[in-house]
Amino acid sequence: MAEETTKTDVQETVNPEQFLKEFNWEKYEEGIEAVADSKLEEFEKLVEENFVDTADEEVVDGTVIHLTDREAIIDINAKSEGVISLNEFRYNPDLKVGDKVEVLIDVREDRTGQLVLSHRKARTIKAWDRVNAAHDNGEVVNGFVKCRTKGGMIVDVFGIEAFLPGSQIDVKPIRDYDQYVNKTMEFKVVKINHEFKNVVVSHKALIEADIEEQKKEIIGQLEKGQVLEGIVKNITSYGVFIDLGGVDGLIHITDLSWSRINHPNEVVELDQKLNVVILDFDENKSRIQLGLKQLQQHPWEALGEELKVGDKVKGRVVVIADYGAFIEVAEGVEGLIHVSEMSWSTHLRSAQDFVKVGDEIEAVILTLDREDRKMSLGIKQLTPDPWTDITTKYPVGSKHTGIVRNFTNFGVFVELEEGIDGLIYISDLSWTKKVKHPSDFVTVGDNLEVVVLELDVEGRKLSLGHKQTTTNPWDKYETEFAVGTKHTAELTEIVDKGATINFNDDIVAFVPSRHLEKEDGKKLKKGEEAEFVIIEFNKEFKRVVASHTAIFKEEEQRNVKAAAKKASSSAEKTTLGDLDALQELKDKMEGK
- Tell me: do 269 and 342 sit in the same domain: no
- Tell me: do 83 and 66 sit in the same domain: yes
Name residues whose C-beta falls within 8 Å of residue 377's C-beta, 6 or more positions apart in sequence.
Answer: 313, 315, 327, 329, 335, 336, 337, 341, 363, 364, 365, 366
Strands 184-193 and 160-165: unpaired
- Tell me: do 305 and 291 sit in the same domain: no
Name residues whose C-beta falls within 8 Å of residue 120's C-beta, 6 or more positions apart in sequence.
Answer: 88, 159
- Model confidence band, residue 50 (pLDDT cutoffs 50, 70, 90): very low
Residues 308-329, mean pLDDT to the nearest whole number = 89
- Tell me: do 289 and 309 sit in the same domain: no
178 and 149 Cβ atoms separated by less than 8 Å: no
- Tell me: do 117 and 42 sit in the same domain: yes
- Tell me: do 62 and 117 sit in the same domain: yes
- Tell me: do 34 and 90 sit in the same domain: yes
DSSP state of 13: P
Whole-number percent of the chain with pLDDT over 70: 80
From 440, 469, 498, give the residue that closes a domain.
469
| pLDDT score of 36 | 58
- At 306, which CATH number? 2.40.50.140
- Model confidence band, residue 362 (pLDDT cutoffs 50, 70, 90): very high
Highest mean pLDDT among 16-30, 115-129, 289-303: 289-303
- The string of pLDDT tens digits covering residues 145-178 is 989 888 888 998 887 889 998 888 887 777 788 8
From 121, 155, 176, give the residue that closes a domain.
121
Q: Kindly state whether residue 510 falls inside one of the protein's structural domains.
A: no
Q: For 18-26, which contacts have Cβ atoms below 8 Å and span 24 or more sequence positions?
A: 19/43, 19/46
- Model confidence band, residue 400 (pLDDT cutoffs 50, 70, 90): very high
pLDDT greater than 50 at residue 8: no
Q: Kindly state whether residue 406 falls inside one of the protein's structural domains.
A: yes
- Tell me: do 87 and 36 sit in the same domain: yes
Residues 265-293, mean pLDDT to the nearest whole number = 86
| Sign of the C-alpha dihedral computed for residues 551, 554, 559 and 562 taken in this order | negative
Q: Kindly state whether residue 367 falls inside one of the protein's structural domains.
A: yes
Q: Kindly state whether residue 260 falls inside one of the protein's structural domains.
A: yes
pLDDT greater than 50 at residue 2: no
- Tell me: do 39 and 115 sit in the same domain: yes
265 and 272 Cβ atoms separated by less than 8 Å: no
134 and 142 Cβ atoms separated by less than 8 Å: no
- Tell me: do 18 and 115 sit in the same domain: yes
- Model confidence band, residue 11 (pLDDT cutoffs 50, 70, 90): very low
Measured distance CA(331)–CA(308) in Å, rounded: 18
In 3D, which of 259, 258, 263, 292 has the Cα closest to residue 275?
A: 292
| Cα radius of gyration rounded to whole Å, the chain | 57
- Tell me: do 441 and 461 sit in the same domain: yes
| pLDDT score of 360 | 92
Query: What's the total number of domains in the chain?
Result: 5
| pLDDT score of 571 | 47
From 469, 484, 505, give the residue that closes a domain.
469
pLDDT greater than 80 at residue 544: yes
Q: Kindly state whether residue 72 falls inside one of the protein's structural domains.
A: yes
- Tell me: do 374 and 447 sit in the same domain: no
Measured distance CA(304)–CA(314) in Å, rounded: 14
pTM of the predicted model, to two decimals?
Answer: 0.42
Q: Which domain holds residue 84?
A: 13-121
| pLDDT score of 252 | 94
290 and 249 Cβ atoms separated by less than 8 Å: yes
499 and 516 Cβ atoms separated by less than 8 Å: yes
| Sign of the C-alpha dihedral computed for residues 262, 266, 272 and 276 taken in this order | negative
Q: Kindly state whether residue 581 falls inside one of the protein's structural domains.
A: no
- The string of pLDDT tens digits covering residues 464-499 is 999 888 888 777 888 888 888 988 888 888 888 899
Strand partners, 227: 277
Residues 71-84, mean pLDDT to the nearest whole number = 81
In 3D, which of 252, 260, 258, 267 has the Cα closest to residue 357?
A: 260
Average pLDDT value for the chain? 80
Residues 336-354, mean pLDDT to the nearest whole number = 82
| pLDDT score of 511 | 92
- Model confidence band, residue 532 (pLDDT cutoffs 50, 70, 90): very high
- Model confidence band, residue 25 (pLDDT cutoffs 50, 70, 90): low
Q: Kindly state whether residue 401 falls inside one of the protein's structural domains.
A: yes
480 class by beta-carbon count within 10 Å (0-12 exposed, 13-18 middle, 19+ buried): middle
Residues 305-325, mean pLDDT to the nearest whole number = 88
Q: Kindly state whether residue 74 falls inside one of the protein's structural domains.
A: yes
